[in-house]
Amino acid sequence: MADTALDRDGLAAFLRGRRLALQPEDVGLRRGARRRTSGLRREEVAELCDMSADYLARLERGSGSQPSQQMAAAIARGLRLTPEERDHLFLLCGHRLQSRQLRDAHISPGLLRVMDRLQDTPAEIVGPIGETLQQTPPAVALLGDETRYTGPARSALYRWFTDPAARSRYLADDHHLNSRVYVSILRAAGAAQGPGSPAAALVTELRRISREFAELWDRQEVGLRWSSAKRFVHPEVGRIDLYCQTLLDPDQGQSLLIFTAAPGTESYDKLALLTVLGSDSFTGS
């Protein structure tokens, strides 16, 4: 089915309505004592959507150019839209169909609200086949920017079996178990998504190019899970022993991973250092 015409007036009204319905607390912002604006300011929403405030103003006036599918997806995430609201937004933007990748990458508002309150903690949201969809700054400092990849490499599962660098931040003693768990997770995703799905395509590709994956796949192991204890090797601060808590959104098949350290430990101090720096790039000597 072909795309439809852009509904400028409908889109303008919808964007204004959703912006005014959001409160600073909904997106992890502080409400200042002098704040008089009802809802969010246009500049705040523009930053959340990774777009210019001028372009958002034009869209809200009904005079902006048609948002691309990628821009519509960014708006849906920034405005914390539900899947139903996201679909409505795409129709208003003139996009009858959404790519499977964009639909799967839409993060539920509930997970985003939790993550908004974790900006000083390593946390990331991942999709059903290991696509890192969003990270807090401390998570980037701990693991590197895992949202920058494209194509099959968007999946940490794919990178684990195809790129030796993907294993560099994990203790070598844990690599074999990690491989088995990854295969088990992909087996579950493939069963849930069915033939012709992204998970099934990933299985086919990894069986073709990775002997290790193919051998583990043939074991037919199911139900393996990560331990809550995670042992990382950071290039600057060395080994860090953390605990990982997981919050699952079953409707989207997405998980929010939160990493913490036991107070009073060396790992706690190292994690605090990474949190303060907030970057994967160190500027020390």
Facing residues of 246 across strands? Answer: 257
Which domains does the chain possess?
A: 8-98 (1.10.260.40), 111-277 (3.30.450.180)
d(CA 222, CA 182): 10
Per-residue pLDDT, 1: 46
Longest Cα separation, the chain: 63
d(CA 113, CA 24): 11
CB 122 within 8 A of CB 271: yes
Per-residue pLDDT, 100: 62
Q: Which two tokens stand for residue 67?
A: 């948002």
DSSP H helix total and E strand total for the chain: 13, 5
Per-residue pLDDT, 147: 92
Pick out the chain residues at pLDDT < 70.
Answer: 1-4, 32-37, 97-104, 278-285
